[in-house]
């Protein structure tokens, strides 16, 4: 114990990050910038080679940060998981997707934990960051690691600290976003806190790993449910002939008791569309039906179809059928000013339009190419001629660089899912 504390205080410990994606690479760079030696572990050859060459593949991590850390010898990348034995602290930052039946896919976590189990030694601190259902750390990771004969809280130390990454956020990054942490024992939490405080400004310790797991799910379920309410409000206001955006903006002037949430074409990213389902799945095993989560998911998942319906009805008003019409999708990333396609509603909208026989094009400077099914697509230049050729322009993601005057002036018919044309009142614009 004492040797580890001395290493933490002198910043001479070795930190391992398993999984070098949207969570792992930013965390690794924060430790490296704090003059702590970091080794990233991943099975992706391209990621390993990029880091070794000082190149970032994550938009929020500048290449110069990776290059500087690599040059100083503070950041390395490995595919050899036997080197986990050399690490004093290991953070697990692997993906946690859902299966086709919307059950938690624990395979990435299980593989990472088995690699750690094979190389576990006295004095190591293990922290799971991957979002998962309450109880995972205690019920899955703890018994697997204790199969070695080592005991948590005595021989090694185990904690859970949920990631809080918001891609494209210009203000809140890994370092200045408060970090929640819960340990299997008090000592587990204390040691993990000391380590994370080297890279993060504020660490908030809660009573248990299960509490920390639940905190993450509450955060994203809160957003999912409130966005679902905003999305259902779209449909209600549509039937009543009221502008939902005006209603929300007016309600937001209330200085207490109201927080604005905005509708959109559907949920995207890894967290909000997926994390609440981890919680509802766990509760089903306890014979409890999480009705709010199910209803919110149903409403949010219906939004891409609602957008396609708006496109279909709008084209019909211009005496056009969807089949054979040229539809230009503006923005395919799941949110503005990022290149992240995870769970993006734009992809579902494009797929549905293709099934209806539309000729689909897209423009997104952040996403130069993408794949739908077996077909590869390329972003097309946003020009007057491209806009004029389109029978319908659909604003799915409102990137800051969009020239709305150009779009409004040269488009025949616009479906605006993001209120990008807020100050424009023209007949050829339909808002969801």
Helices (H) and strands (E) in the chain, counts: 15, 15
289 token code pair: 């039906």
- The pLDDT assigned to 81 comes to 97
What CATH class has 227-431?
alpha beta
Residue 416, beta-bridge partner list? 395, 431
**Domain 2-207 CATH superfamily:** NAD(P)-binding Rossmann-like Domain (3.40.50.720)
89 token code pair: 């602290």
How much is the average pLDDT of 394-398? 97
pLDDT tens readout for residues 2-41: 889 999 999 999 999 999 999 999 999 999 999 999 999 9
Do the beta carbons of residue 345 and residue 278 sit within 8 Å? no
pLDDT band at 374 (very low <50, low <70, confident <90, very high): confident
pLDDT tens readout for residues 70-84: 999 999 999 999 999
Q: List the domain boundaries for the chain.
A: 2-207, 227-431
Task: Evaluate whether 2-207 and 227-431 have a shared fold.
Answer: yes
Tokens 């569309």 correspond to 273
- The pLDDT assigned to 33 comes to 97
Report the catalytic residues. Answer: 271
Q: How much is the pTM? A: 0.93
pLDDT tens readout for residues 403-424: 999 999 999 999 999 999 998 8
- The pLDDT assigned to 153 comes to 97
CA angle 341, 345, 351 (to 5 degrees): 100
How much is the average pLDDT of 315-343? 96
How far apart are the C-alpha atoms of 61 and 185, rounded to whole Å?
34
- The pLDDT assigned to 129 comes to 97
pLDDT over threshold 80, residue 1:
no
Question: Could you tell me the strand order of the sheet in which 14-18 lies?
Answer: 75-78, 37-41, 14-18, 89-92, 125-128, 157-160, 179-183, 203-205
Tokens 């991590």 correspond to 61
How far apart are the C-alpha atoms of 208 and 223, rounded to whole Å?
24
- The pLDDT assigned to 2 comes to 83
Q: What is the DSSP string of 256-295?
A: SS-------S---SSSTTTHHHHHHHHHHTTT---HHHHH
- The pLDDT assigned to 426 comes to 84
- The pLDDT assigned to 270 comes to 85
- The pLDDT assigned to 252 comes to 97
- The pLDDT assigned to 375 comes to 87
Mean pLDDT of the chain: 96
């Amino acid at each position: 114990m004492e040797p580890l504390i001395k290493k933490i205080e002198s910043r001479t410990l070795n930190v391992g990050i398993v999984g070098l994606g949207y969570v792992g690479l930013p965390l690794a760079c924060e430790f490296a910038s704090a003059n702590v030696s970091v080794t990233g572990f991943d099975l992706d050859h391209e990621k390993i080679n990029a880091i070794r060459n000082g190149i970032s593949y994550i938009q929020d991590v500048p290449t110069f940060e990776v290059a500087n850390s690599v040059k100083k010898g503070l950041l390395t990348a490995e595919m050899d998981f036997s080197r986990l034995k050399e690490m004093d602290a290991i953070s697990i930052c692997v993906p946690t997707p859902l299966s086709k039946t919307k059950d938690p896919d624990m395979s990435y976590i299980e593989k990472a934990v088995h690699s750690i189990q094979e190389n576990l030694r006295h004095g190591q601190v293990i922290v799971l960051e991957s979002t998962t259902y309450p109880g995972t750390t205690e019920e899955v990771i703890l018994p697997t690691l204790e199969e070695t004969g080592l005991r948590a809280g005595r021989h090694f130390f185990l904690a859970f600290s949920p990631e809080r990454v918001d891609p494209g956020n210009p203000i809140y990054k890994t370092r200045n976003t408060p970090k929640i942490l819960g340990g299997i024992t008090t000592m587990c939490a204390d040691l993990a806190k000391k380590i994370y405080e080297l890279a993060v400004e504020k660490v908030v310790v809660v009573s248990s790993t299960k509490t920390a797991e639940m905190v993450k799910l509450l955060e994203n379920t809160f957003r999912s449910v409130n966005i679902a309410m905003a999305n259902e409000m779209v449909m209600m206001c549509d039937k009543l002939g009221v502008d939902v955006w005006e209603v929300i903006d007016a309600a937001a002037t209330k200085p207490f008791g109201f927080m604005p949430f905005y509708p959109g074409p559907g949920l995207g990213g890894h967290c909000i569309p997926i994390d609440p389902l981890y919680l509802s799945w766990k509760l089903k095993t306890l014979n409890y039906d999480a009705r709010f989560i199910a209803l919110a998911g149903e409403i949010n998942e219906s939004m891409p179809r609602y957008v396609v319906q708006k496109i279909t009805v709008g084209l019909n008003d211009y005496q056009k059928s969807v089949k054979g019409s040229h539809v230009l999708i503006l923005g395919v990333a799941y949110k503005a000013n990022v290149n992240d396609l995870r769970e993006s509603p734009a992809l579902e909208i494009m797929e549905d339009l293709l099934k209806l026989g539309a000729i689909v094009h897209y423009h997104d400077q952040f996403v130069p190419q993408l794949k739908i099914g077996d077909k590869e697509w390329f972003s097309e230049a946003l020009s007057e001629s491209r806009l004029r050729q389109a029978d319908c322009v659909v604003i799915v993601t409102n990137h800051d660089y969009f020239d709305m005057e150009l779009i409004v002036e040269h488009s025949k018919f616009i479906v605006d899912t993001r209120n990008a044309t807020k100050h424009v009142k023209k007949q050829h614009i339909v808002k969801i």
